[in-house]
Amino acid sequence: MVFKNHTKQKMKQSKLLKIIPLILALLLGCKINKPFIGYSIQKTAFSEKAMVVSAHPLATQVGLDILRKGGNAIDAAIAVQLALAVTYPRAGNIGGGGFLVYRSAKGETATLDFREKAPAAAHRDLYLDEKGNVLLEKSQKGHLAAGIPGTIAGCVQMYEKYSKLKDFKRLVQPAIDLATNGFEITDREAKSLNNNQADFAKYSTISPVFVQKGGEMWQKGAILIQKELANTLTLVRDKGRAGFYEGETADKIVAEMQRGGGIITKTDLQKYQATWRKPLTGKYRGYDLVGMPPPSSGGIALFQLLGMVESYPLGSYGFHSKAATHLIIEAERRVYADRAEHLGDPDFYPVPTDKLLNANYLQKRMSDFDPNKATPSQAVKAGNFKNAPASEQTTHFSIIDAEGNAVAVTTTLNDNYGCRTVVGGAGFLLNNEMDDFSAKPGVPNMYGAIGGEANAIQAGKTMLSSMTPTIVTKNGKLFMVVGTPGGTTIITSVFQVITNVIDFNMSISEAVQAKRFHSQWLPDKVFIEKDCLENGTNMTLKTMGHHIEERGNLGAVEAILVRGDGKLEGAADIRGDDDARGF
């Protein structure tokens, strides 16, 4: 009895001893990062110098290790991207693509487009049957849905231009180790793998590691070892770009295509290059933004949204108030109508970027805004530029290194686990990014997005994206790094996080964890997360003519904010296993 009490007392004391430094650290605003143990997940992290926020704690830790060893944000980004390909197979990838938005400590900015491209054999009617109906399964599942992967080219090109470590092998090795030794899968991952078992089996020609033998189910804590993926990553480590786009891996991709009716060829792979694009820049209430230009619609759409609401006192309307929510929905309606008509790969279609971002144009777009009534989407058309010269799974990570270089990368296979096809013998999933093209004008893709000529399928063209990796600065100083998955909802989620901080004075953690809503012109609906709006607001918006529909989570934001005192605050979304840590 006495012994028990004594033990209890000791435990209380030791608990107290553990908590005191934590409270002190919090009060002093300094780092509270615990040493990394297993899967402890950190949703908010404070640090003095450097920070990584990603969708998986092991990937976050890999990035942090590279930063500690003297790597810069780009070195860490490459290591995190590859670690996610192992630990977060639904979206982390080497068989997909993405976008990098970069800002150096000195203020130099760059954006890299390493998104997938349509194979040479692709054509406008690739997904139509003989009657002209869209064959959605073909654009979404299996071999024909895959675009030419861009991730490894992206990693190599960002390495060549900006790496500080200058040791590519060191950046790839952590991913190889994770694939070789395995890691414990989380509950979410186990459930998600189970939900997709049948698809993996159906759309892969050789049974992949994700399919359990004998119909067993994945359980939380099971160790996922990926030997074939480790081998592919070893080829990439030793041969760089050629380890993926040539030789053994290229042979395996093409063999997989031939077995499953896909169209990616060796020439497609050899020819693939990622593209450095001129960063898109914008302004909002005294802040400067760097965003991704087309072939993402993300930068343009985000800047349009900000431009449309800027002349309204959003902050004084109140967070999720009727007035603020209505204004944002109405702006979204107009922006997504423009997206459907005007946005596509600028190498194939003359995207009228300047016209879409012109301040007068944006004001004119809002001239029929009625503060008391919803505009039916059918009545909203895209802006008319006839005279213009001819001209739910993705993942995002945000990184700031000790020098102040910042990286925002959003990367994807498109849907969860892409087209569900694992390249036989090579152990990685292929994307189903071809569904982001407009298979037929007016026919919605898996995100309900429609499009036309600007985003029609063409050989070698990149499909339109909504990915919105974004960097915000104030008075020339880094302020925020932000991004999220979520298909077409990406743009509105990033918009809400930015306005939550700038207009509604939230901390970055509050801004990321706050409930979100989304509307995209067509379908004429406003999707809200559970408990997003108070009942009264909800009812009022319905009376005004908005069609409100509750749905699951919107996005999984990873953001870092540089506070006034120069310290970093990282926020990983509570909607997933996402994790933030720094030093």
To 10 degrees, the CA torsion angle through 184, 188, 191, 196?
-100
Q: Using the minimum distance from each CB to ligand DON, give the nearer residue, 54 or 393.
A: 393
Q: Catalytic residue at 394?
A: yes
In this structure, what token pair is assigned to residue 138?
């073909």
Amino acid at 219: Q
C-beta of residue 141 within 8 angstroms of C-beta of residue 199? yes
SS3 for 294-340 is CCECHHHHHHHHHHHHCCCCHHHHCCCCHHHHHHHHHHHHHHHHHHH
Least Cα distance to 51 among 402, 294, 500 occurs for: 402
In this structure, what token pair is assigned to residue 484?
């999220």
HSE-up of residue 425 (Cα within 13 Å, Cβ side) = 12
Q: Residue 561 phi/psi, 5° resolution?
A: -120, 135
Q: What is the Cα–Cα distance from 441 to 567, expressed in whole angstroms?
A: 48
Q: Using the minimum distance from each CB to ligand DON, give the nearer residue, 352 or 485.
A: 485
Q: Using the minimum distance from each CB to ligand DON, give the nearer residue, 405 or 465.
A: 465
Q: Which residues contact 97 (CB under 8 A, 6 or more apart)?
A: 114, 115, 116, 147, 149, 150, 151, 154, 411, 412, 431, 433
Q: What is the Cα–Cα distance from 434 to 446, expressed in whole angstroms?
A: 11
Q: What is the DSSP letter of 144?
A: G
Q: Using the minimum distance from each CB to ligand DON, give the nearer residue, 145 or 235.
A: 145
Least Cα distance to 412 among 426, 432, 438 occurs for: 432
Q: Using the minimum distance from each CB to ligand DON, give the nearer residue, 60 or 412.
A: 412
Closest distance to ligand DON from the beta carbon of 93 (Å) = 11
Closest distance to ligand DON from the beta carbon of 145 (Å) = 11
Closest distance to ligand DON from the beta carbon of 396 (Å) = 9
Q: Using the minimum distance from each CB to ligand DON, give the nearer residue, 325 or 465.
A: 465
Candidate list 109, 111, 325, 394, residue with the active-site label: 394
Length of the chain: 583
Closest distance to ligand DON from the beta carbon of 343 (Å) = 11
Closest distance to ligand DON from the beta carbon of 570 (Å) = 21
Closest distance to ligand DON from the beta carbon of 147 (Å) = 10
C-alpha separations of 259 from 143, 205, 465 in Å = 9, 7, 29
Q: Using the minimum distance from each CB to ligand DON, give the nearer residue, 71 or 487.
A: 487
Residues that bind ligand DON (CB under 6 A): 392-394, 412, 414, 433, 436, 465-467, 485-487, 490
Q: What is the Cα–Cα distance from 32 to 447, expressed in whole angstroms?
A: 39
C-beta of residue 236 within 8 angstroms of C-beta of residue 94? yes
The strand order across the sheet containing 568-572 reads 44-47, 568-572, 558-562, 477-483, 470-474, 287-291, 280-284
C-alpha separations of 458 from 144, 347, 352, 496 in Å = 14, 11, 19, 34
Closest distance to ligand DON from the beta carbon of 167 (Å) = 31
Q: What is the DSSP letter of 293?
A: -
Q: Using the minimum distance from each CB to ligand DON, give the nearer residue, 80 or 343.
A: 343
Closest distance to ligand DON from the beta carbon of 97 (Å) = 8
Q: What is the Cα–Cα distance from 296 to 412, expressed in whole angstroms?
A: 13
Q: Which residues are tagged catalytic?
A: 394
